[in-house]
Amino acid sequence: MATDSTRYDVPFRAPVMPYFPDEYERQAMDQFSNILRLYFNQLDNAIRKANSTDKADAQSWFMG
């Protein structure tokens, strides 16, 4: 059986989501939205960085 030996150099983890109060509070929803926004920004940047590294490796292999 093959094992996954891929290295994932991701310098962050999924955030811990806050518990919501029983009744709607604007501040709690803003905090939740902010946590998700920061996480998805980090995820997007990591994917873009990994994709650019792969392209550079492929180009150097093709030219070499």
Cβ distance 17 to 38 under 8 Å?
no
Of 16-20, 27-31, 34-38, 46-50, where does mean pLDDT reach its minimum? 46-50
CA–CA distance, 25 with 49 (Å, rounded to integer): 37
Q: Helices in the chain by DSSP H: which ranges? A: 26-63
pLDDT tops 90 at residue 28 = yes
Q: In whole angstroms, how far apart are CA 23 and each of 20, 28, 29, 30, 35?
A: 8, 10, 11, 14, 20
